[in-house]
Amino acid sequence: MITISNLEKVYNGKIVLNIKDLVFNEGEIVGLVGNNGAGKTTLLRLMLDLIKADKGVVQSNDYVVSKSENWKDYTASYLDEGFLIDFLTPEEFFCFVGESYGFPKKDIDLRLSKFKNLMNNEVLAQGKKYIRDFSKGNKQKIGIISTLLTDSKVLILDEPFVSLDPTSQILLKRHFSEYNKKNNATMVISSHDLNHISEICNRIILIEKGELIRDLYNNGNVLKELENYFTI
């Protein structure tokens, strides 16, 4: 469980995020939606202690993320290409990630085999091709797969469907749902795609101008409610 209390971030004297109370429960797939500049990525970066809050606390289980490293043992994330080590091959990068979570090489290979359909023979076994030389779509796949192979209890992803073709988007949604069921994982996914989010998320958080506007449970009508909000 992740708890956010009185969280505030200020840039150049302007409050860009102000979340009073927000809880992500164990086993939920939570979507973050909002227009550009709403504060979604800022919230994710604060949850991962990549930037410092001006006020407030993010707590993961019993750990305050800004004061402990222990939450990292069960957390995996991919926000953008900056999370990749682009002078490695995909195989080298996956081994680096897997070994960071304590997996032996043979276990990493077994875990990667589950994503064969998503990689579509375009990621592994490409010779000495470095991550920097892959297309944006395949870089995206490498980053997302590196989080999924960890079996972490908390997964945080920013715009995972960007740059993926329709087939890959469909496969990725299936992988997310399977991952959630297998690990009872808390998954927080930011996306501009309301259709994808409403299809896979139990709950959707709407953020605008740095504030929580709506907290919606997916009762089957959430897509229509979101579309109505964004077309007003």
Domains delineated in the chain: 2-230 (3.40.50.300)
Residue with tokens 């994503």: 115
- The reported pLDDT for the residue numbered 150 is 96
Q: What is the dihedral of CA 20, 24, 25, 31, to 10 degrees?
A: 140
One digit per residue, pLDDT tens: the chain, 232 residues? 899 999 999 999 999 999 999 999 999 999 999 999 999 999 999 999 999 999 999 999 999 999 999 999 999 999 999 999 999 999 999 999 999 999 998 999 999 999 999 999 999 999 999 999 999 999 999 999 999 999 999 999 999 999 999 999 999 999 999 999 999 999 999 999 999 999 999 999 999 999 999 999 998 889 999 999 999 6
- The reported pLDDT for the residue numbered 107 is 94
- The reported pLDDT for the residue numbered 39 is 97
- The reported pLDDT for the residue numbered 220 is 84
